[in-house]
A = this chain, B = another copy of it.
Amino acid sequence: MEKTRKTTLSDVAALADVSPITVSRALRDPEKVSQDARARITRAIAQLGYVPNPAARALASGRTDVVGVIIPSVSNNVFADVLRGIYDGLQDSPLGVQLGTTRYSPSTEEQLVRVFLSQQPAGLIVAGHDQSPAARALLQGAECPVVQIMEVGPQPIDLVVGLSHYQAARDGAQHLLDMGYKAPAFLGAQMDPRSQRRLAGFRDCLIAAGMGADDPVVTTPEPSSVSLGCRLFADLLATRPRTDAVLCNNDDLALGVLFEAQRRNIRIPDQLGICGFNDHEMMSAAEPPLTSVETDRYEMGRAAIRQIRDRLAGKGHPRGHAVDLGYRLVPRVSTARRD
């Protein structure tokens, strides 16, 4: 490993005929440096191809330009959309992203929180409200802004951007009843805490409608997929053949249900109503188009970053501030039963 002796601040300073501190200031706070010096410094930087060393900056200042993002998984397209929002929100800022995935394990999450906080990040984004007590304590003591995303809930750690999964699912279930379906069921995979809340919303809707005796629910802890939607729907039909509608925990499952119904010549929406969750782009393209509960994952990421940037700029919201992004039921043909 031959060291090429990277150019440093001092090299730039020497060439620009100022002290290193002035260069440092010119980089971070150009206002504070005279036009003249700034011009010479800029030229010297270009000439030497100087690139600052983030580790040195972090060590000296105790801060970094990295936002930690801790989510359960990258292959869930919900989080892919959130990440896209995060990256777009970070445009034209010096901030970068360090990403960690928990695989839905609270202990992994706790470890990631510990590691990320040790890097003294500019901010931290974590998914959900179900951190372990130790992780919560760590986050509570963090010196940087912390944003919990995906869900609004009681007892925020710091900032929150999300929606009520309970209400969203409850509205989805109500929609099925409103459209005249008599025996709706719930299909769920990957039953993480948010999925549990959605299930609770479904159940409470049925109870409120006087249909609480039965509990038409098929779930599995397996990760969600379209194939799994096919299988769960098959299981559902085997045990509850009179089911006439399904509220799916997410859109992948809903798509699987559609395919399985097509295979069995079950007519959508007359014999079976289908409602998904999140309103992924494909839902409107399907044949027939599938009803879903729209959530704005992209905006969730953007808003989270906005919270952090505002806070860093000193004009942010105080602790406990929550943004409820809401949701929107998007009725399509798949639940438009003709009576």
Which residues of A are interface residues toward B (Cβ below 8 A)?
A: 1, 3, 51-56, 58-59, 62, 64, 66, 73-75, 77, 80-81, 83-84, 87, 96-101, 114-115, 117-120, 143, 225-227, 229-230, 252, 255-256, 259-260, 262-263, 281-282, 284-287
Q: Which of B66, B120, B263 contacts A287 (CB 8 A)?
A: B263
Q: Please tell me if the beta carbons of B114 and A51 are within 8 angstroms of each other in the complex.
A: yes
Shortest Cβ distance from residue A333 to the other chain B in the assembled complex, whole angstroms: 11
Contact B59 A55 (CB under 8 A): yes
A41 to chain B, nearest CB (A): 18
Q: Measured between alpha carbons, how far is A163 from B198 in the docked complex, in Å?
A: 41
- Inter-subunit contact A98/B143 (CB<8 Å): no
Q: Which residues of B contact A51 (CB under 8 A)?
A: 114, 117-118
B-side contacts of A282, CB under 8 Å? 225-227, 252, 255
Q: How far is the CA of A98 from the CA of B229 in the complex (A)?
A: 33
Bound state CA distance, A143 and B255, in angstroms? Answer: 47
Cβ–Cβ contact A118 & B52, under 8 A: yes
B87 touches A74 (CB 8 A): yes
Residues from chain B with a CB closer than 8 A to the CB of A55 are 54-56, 58-59, 64, 119-120
Majority DSSP secondary structure for residues of A touching B: helix
**Across the interface, which residues of B come within 8 angstroms of A83, CB to CB?**
74-75
In the assembled complex, which residues on chain B have CB atoms less than 8 Å from the CB atom of A101? 84, 87
Most buried by B among A262, A284, A285: A285
Known: A97-B98, A120-B55. A256 touches B227 (CB 8 A): no
CB-defined contacts of A281 to chain B, threshold 8 Å = 225-227
* In the complex, chain B residues whose CB is within 8 Å of the CB of A64: 55
A84 neighbours in B (Cβ, 8 Å): 73-75, 101
Given contacts A52-B118, A59-B59, A97-B99, A75 and B80 within 8 Å (CB-CB): yes
Q: Closest chain B residue to A2 by CB distance? A: B143
Contacts of A53 in B (CB 8 A): 59, 118
Q: How far is the CB of A52 from chain B (nearest CB, A)?
A: 7
Given contacts A66-B98, A75-B77, 15 further A-B contacts (CB under 8 A): A3-B62, A51-B118, A52-B118, A54-B118, A54-B119, A56-B59, A98-B99, A99-B99, A226-B281, A226-B282, A227-B284, A252-B282, A255-B282, A255-B285, A259-B286
| Residues in B whose Cβ lies below 8 Å from that of A75 | 77, 80-81, 83-84
Q: How far is the CA of A225 from the CA of B118 in the complex (A)?
A: 39
A247 to B73, CA, bound (A): 31
Q: How far, in whole Å, are A54 and B114 apart by their CA atoms in the complex? A: 12
Distance in angstroms between the alpha carbons of A81 and B73 in the assembled complex: 10
User: What residue of chain B has the Cβ atom nearest to residue A101's Cβ?
Assistant: B87
Chain B residue at minimum C-beta to C-beta distance from A59: B55
A166 to chain B, nearest CB (A): 27
